[in-house]
Amino acid sequence: MSGQKLLSTIGFYALVVVIVVFSVFPFYYAIVTSFTTGTDLFKINYWPRAFSWANYETVLGGRNFVRSIWNSVFIATTTVVFALFLAVTASYALARVRFRGRGLLLMMILAVSMFPQIAVLAGLFELVRFLGIFNTPWAMILSYVIFTLPFTVWVLTTFMRDLPVEIEEAAIVDGATPWIIITRVFMPLLWPALVTTGLLAFIGAWNEFLFALTFTSSETTRTVPVAIGLLSGASQQEIPWGPIMAASVIVTVPLIILVLIFQRKIVAGLTAGGVKG
């Protein structure tokens, strides 16, 4: 009996190890590669053999990669602030006020988050051209609303629905207007939810590729994913794996740190939204 138990414990931990190795290995390998240069790249290394910052220097010192990081930070932050601002008020109304067609409205908002990006690409391209914001950060900020806003509204609505009714009733008795209720009463309770949704929306905007690829034309307006996607080699036919991996590590490490710090909250947010951030 105990032998069997030991066996199943070993089996369990073996499974755990497999899961961890599978999850982490590609990123580990990217880090190893990012420290490798020259012909060493074309030898297969399981362990870091050399340790060279050259690839990082190439990426950070070269053409506008730092600029791309700032573009991404600016675009993602602005998108998130904008989406949260619209979403907080809207989700208060959706969660707390009874009115006809509320369920339908929620369904419609959810439907928007399921839009294939490609289906709106042609129309958005026209809109962006019409507004004269092609190749500016605003083109991305505008287009990212399509996936950040429904998501934030949806998650915040779920959160707000669960806030106790009594608090709000007390505020209403005191004569507070809905605006006061949101800003003074709910906001302090809501901020953990805001941080989580904001972070998830931030990751979504940070990672977006198709719109950013379509709406930028100069190197100084590229976002990080586009910059990595378009990172090019020393000659027409050469792919610069070393710098690509270095760039990948640079943009991923902050995200991973953020995710690890907020992991519990993210899990809660994901569950509430049921939407891929």
Partner 1 sequence: MATNTGGLSLTQQRQRAAFWFIAPMLAALFFVAAWPLIRTIWFSLTNTALSDLYGGEWIGFDNYLSLRILESGRWIWRGTLVDPAWWNAVWNTVRFAFVSVFFETVLGLIVALVLNAEFKGRGIVRAAILIPWAIPTIVSAKMWAWMLNDQFGIINDIMLNLGLIDQKIAWTASTETAMYAVLMVDIWKTTPFMALLILAGLQMVPRDIYEAAKLDGVNPVKVFFRITLPLIRPALAVAIIFRMLDALRIFDLVYVLTPNSAATKTMSVISRENMIDFDKFAYGAAQSTLLFAIIAVFVSLYIWLGKVDFSGEGQR
Partner 2 sequence: MTIMKGRALRATATAAMLAVFGAPVMAEELFYVSGAVGNAVENFKALVKPWEEATGNTVTLVPMPASTTDQFGQYRLWLAAGATDIDLYQTDVIWAPQLADHFVDLTEAAKDLIPQHFPSIIESQTVNGKLVALPIFTDAPALYYRTDLLEKHGKTPPKTWAELAETAKFIQDAERAEGAKDLWGFVWQGNAYEGLTCNALEWIKSYGGGQIVEPDGTISVNNENAVAALEMAKSWVGTISPDGVLAYQEEEARGVWQTGNAVFMRNWPYAYGLGNGDDSAVKGKFAVTTLPVGKEGDSSAATLGGWNVAVSKYSTKQEAAISLALYLAGPEAQKQRAIAESNLPTIIALYDDPDIAAAQPIIPQWKDVFLNAVPRPSAPTLGKYNEVSAKFWSAVHNTLSGKGSAAENLELLEVELTDIKGSGW
Binding site for partner 2 (CB under 8 A): 38-39, 42, 63, 125, 128-129, 134-135, 213-214, 217-219, 229-240
For residue 53, report the phi and psi dihedrals to the nearest 5 degrees.
Answer: -85, 5
Closer CB to partner 1, 54 or 262, in the complex: 262
Closer CB to partner 2, 197 or 214, in the complex: 214
Closer CB to partner 1, 216 or 248, in the complex: 248
Q: Minimal CA–CA distance to 240: which of 231, 251, 249? A: 231
Single residue of 59, 75, 140, 245 touching partner 1 by CB under 8 A: 245
What is the gyration radius of the CA atoms in the chain, in angstroms?
23
Closer CB to partner 1, 41 or 195, in the complex: 41
- Contact positions with partner 1 (CB under 8 A) in 147-186: 149-150, 153, 158, 161, 172, 177-179
Single residue of 56, 65, 92, 186 touching partner 1 by CB under 8 A: 92
Closer CB to partner 1, 52 or 207, in the complex: 207
Single residue of 10, 15, 50, 167 touching partner 1 by CB under 8 A: 15
Closer CB to partner 2, 125 or 262, in the complex: 125
Out of partner 2, partner 1, none, what residue 163 binds, judged by CB under 5 to 8 A for its kind, is none
Out of partner 2, partner 1, none, what residue 74 binds, judged by CB under 5 to 8 A for its kind, is none
Out of partner 2, partner 1, none, what residue 51 binds, judged by CB under 5 to 8 A for its kind, is none
- What tokens does 221 get? 């307006």
Q: Which stretch binds partner 1 (CB under 8 A): 17-25, 57-65, 73-81, 185-193?
A: 17-25
> What is the closest distance, in whole angstroms, from the C-beta atom of residue 235 to partner 2 in the complex?
6
Q: Categorise residue 101: left if φ over 0, alpha if ψ from -120 to 50, beta otherwise.
A: left
Out of partner 1, partner 2, none, what residue 240 binds, judged by CB under 5 to 8 A for its kind, is partner 2
Single residue of 60, 81, 110, 133 touching partner 1 by CB under 8 A: 110
Is residue 122 involved in binding partner 1 (CB under 8 A)?
Answer: yes
Number of residues that bind partner 1 (CB under 8 A): 94
> What is the closest distance, in whole angstroms, from the C-beta atom of residue 170 to partner 2 in the complex?
54
SS3 sequence of the chain: CHHHHHHHHHHHHHHHHHHHHHHHHHHHHHHHHHCCCHHHHHCCCCCCCCCCCHHHHHHHHCCCHHHHHHHHHHHHHHHHHHHHHHHHHHHHHHHHCCCCCHHHHHHHHHHHHCCCHHHHHHHHHHHHHHHCCCCCHHHHHHHHHHHHHHHHHHHHHHHHHCCCHHHHHHHHHCCCCHHHHHHHHHHHHHHHHHHHHHHHHHHHHHHCCHHHHHHCCCHHHCCHHHHHHCCCCCCCCCCCHHHHHHHHHHHHHHHHHHHHHCHHHHHHHHHHHCCCC
Single residue of 20, 50, 167, 187 touching partner 1 by CB under 8 A: 20
Task: Please tell me the distance from the alpha carbon of residue 39 to that of residue 170, in angstroms, as a whole number.
Answer: 71
